[in-house]
Amino acid sequence: MKIALDAMGGDHGPAPCIEGALSAAQDLDVDVVLVGDEKVLAEECRRLGCTDSRLSIRHAPQVVEMHESPATVARKKRDSSIWIATELVKSGEADAVVSPGNTGASMVASFFVLGLTKGVERPAIATSLPTLTGEAILLDVGANVDCSAQHLTQFAIMGNEYGKHLFRKPNPRVGLLSIGEEDSKGNEVTKEAFKILKGSALNFVGNVEGRDVYSGNADVVVCDGFIGNVALKISEGVAETIKKLLFKEISGSLLGRLAYPLIASPLKNLKRRIDYAEFGGAPLLGVNGITMICHGRSSAKAIKNAIRRAKGLAESRVDELIQRDIEESLAQSRLPEEPST
């Protein structure tokens, strides 16, 4: 298994990427191609004492900066690390691409280089969220601002297949994010999507309200990219605020400091449950290949876990299974209705 890593795109430079790649090579039995400026990457590898033969370097003279328009990668930066890393997947030299760089650039590169899965109208970014019973998939979280009911249905189909892989469940529970549990709640798009999903072969559990996303009542939660991205950013902000408030309360009193040794272990477990580094990255579903999108501030641990998930998706051939499911759904929708008696 070989993973192409955009080693230049993150907020903290190539060091976390190289450290995460080295840890993945040693623990996950994968080869990692570090894509970026050869001179910079080679020097950083020397500084970090990285000599593992399972890590190699592919030169890419350009970098897409975080502030640049995603369209830049297609128009002016086809020698960038994210574009060349994606090309390695297209050519079969790598099984998946992982990038902590510009999210839009990753999407554009995947769209133009890998192409959309046959029958998929829009790709979707699927992220993992902690719940009371484990974790859930939320999609889309930023790839598409405006969606139709058909798009949401396709997101549900793609999320269902990803959920089968991630949770090892043959029939994940799929919910539609809305403003109420009743099928009459929501805007016209969500109400139409509800009707389609209710009649599908998916294990559709109905509408899911925002307050119930973390309950664990659904394994896959579907929404458009605007709502999904807002929900994700609010969730990240709440998690960070809770950590800071807990630390403030504990350190702000003598009783808190005395009690800390007794509650340190549960607090560490809580931090691990809500830490994005544990999930690593979010796959872009609906393209012909495995693309894993990471936080720009990803640590070495996050990079390693993103590589772990990319490897699992590639081994399970989730992209091919999504293609099969989409084709079956399209074929079903073309069948003529039986005449009423």
Residues 6+ apart with CB under 8 A from 142: 103, 125, 225, 228, 229, 232
Which residues have C-beta within 8 Å of that of residue 9, sequence separation ≥ 6? 63, 64, 81, 82, 99, 100, 101, 102, 105, 296
Tell me the average pLDDT across 54-61: 95
| Pair of tokens at residue 334 | 């073309």
Tell me what the mean pLDDT of segment 294-312 comes to: 91
Alpha carbon distance 215, 132 (integer Å): 5
The answer to whether 8 and 101 are in contact (CB under 8 A) is yes
Q: Which pLDDT does position 341 carry in this prediction?
A: 47
Tell me, what's the pLDDT at 83?
94
Question: So what's the pLDDT on residue 26?
Answer: 92
- pLDDT of 149 higher than 60: yes
Show the CA angle centred on residue 171, arms to residues 180 and 214, nearest 5°. Answer: 40
Res 39: pLDDT: 95
Residue 44 confidence class, pLDDT cut points 50, 70, 90: very high
Rg, Å, the chain Cα set: 21
Give the model's pLDDT for residue 276: 63
pLDDT at 266: 66
Average pLDDT, the chain: 88
pLDDT of residue 132: 86
Q: Using the predicted structure, report yes or no on whether residue 317 has a pLDDT greater than 50.
A: yes
**Range with the largest mean pLDDT of 19-28, 183-192, 272-281:** 19-28
Find the mean pLDDT for residues 94-105: 93
